[in-house]
Amino acid sequence: MRNIYKFLFFLLMFISFLDTIVGVAVNTTSAVLITVDQSGKGDFQRIQDAIDAVPSQNSEQIFILIKPGIYKEQVVVPEDKPWITMSGTNETSTIITWSGPWHTLQNTTVSILASDFVGRNLTIQNTYGPGIQAVALSVFGDRVAFYGCRIFSYQDTLFDTSGRHYYSNCFIQGATDFIYGDALSLFHKCYIHSISENGGAITAHKRSSMDENTGYSFVSCNITGIKPNSVVLGRPWGPYSRVIYAYTSMTNAISPEGWNDWNNATKRSTSYYGEYMCYGPGARSSKRVEWSHQLTSDQAKPFLTKDMINGHEWLRPAPTQFKKPSFSLKPKK
């Protein structure tokens, strides 16, 4: 009998340990529905008010449906509010917009600090323009996915900073280091558009050691720009920067050398920049910098699927069942 109690004790301890690693199990087929509508016909008129209403450490999936409109506000999903989905009805008609330079998180249009967040069918933009960092979207949480979203700015559009992330069928536009940070992220079937006039970079990844399992992979994407030879695929923010492009169409906006060492030749031997089965005039490899890699199938394989981000463990479909919230829907003062 004592052995049974001992077994149950260790079993409970193990379950508690798992909870601290992967979080509380959540029913992903159903969700609490909250609507945001500027006309006043929804639960809230502001997106941030809807997020503020969600209880801290909630254990239910929350689906915030944002009706068409231009929402001029800054949105923060705090760390203690996981399992939130923000969804527009159409990415061209549901727009979250702000204009301001980036100094702190408070100067980002949308900031995702929580884990298990999903964004769907949204436009997120910072209209500040050139001259200084102006972040549209910053992503700090783990297990975060965006589907069919449009993300616009000029310099440092997407601060993809930490955690595992998945971007599917998204449009991302900028000129200088407009996808940057130190996350482990897969960009699948995304449209990447550079508005650089000269010398811009798409990525600035910040991996700082070989032991970090981080990097960006672009698979089956399209890359365009406004001028020929005006942008490179990436430059190393961190010494072990890692970026891969595979099965991706590249126009002549990509400079023939492909990559830039950010005026630091020591990073050439530690950065890992690779291309696999890319095509189009910007994908020609004959003039690529000698320290980049044209990958073999075995070298490219770890970067080609959702396994790269352990996506089979956490990516989830949109909920199919909805219910009313049990918490108050009054805006907090």
In 3D space, the residue among 138, 124, 126, 130 whose CA is nearest the CA of residue 100 turns out to be 126
For residue 246, list its beta bridge partners: 219, 276
**Secondary structure, 3-state, the chain:** CHHHHHHHHHHHHHHHHHHHHHCCCCCCCEEEEEEECCCCCCCECCHHHHHHHCCCCCCCCEEEEECCEEEECCEEECCCCCCEEEEECCCCCEEEEECCCCCCHHHCCEEECCCCCEEECCEEEECCCCCCCCCCEEECCCCEEEECCEEECCECCEEECCCEEEEECCEEEECEEEEEECCEEEEECCEEEECCCCCEEEEEECCCCCCCCCEEEEECCEEEECCCCCEEEECCCCCCCEEEEECCEECCCECCCCECCCCCHHHHCCCEEEEECCECHHHCCCCCCCCCEECCHHHHHHHCCHHHHCHHHCCCCCCCEEECCCCCCCCCC
For residue 259, list its beta bridge partners: 234
Please say if 116 is a catalytic residue: no
Asked whether 143 and 314 are in contact (CB, 8 A), the reply is yes
Please say if 19 is a catalytic residue: no
Catalytic residue, chosen from 177, 211, 261, 307, is 177
Catalytic residue, chosen from 116, 156, 160, 182, is 156
The residues carrying an active-site annotation are: 156, 177
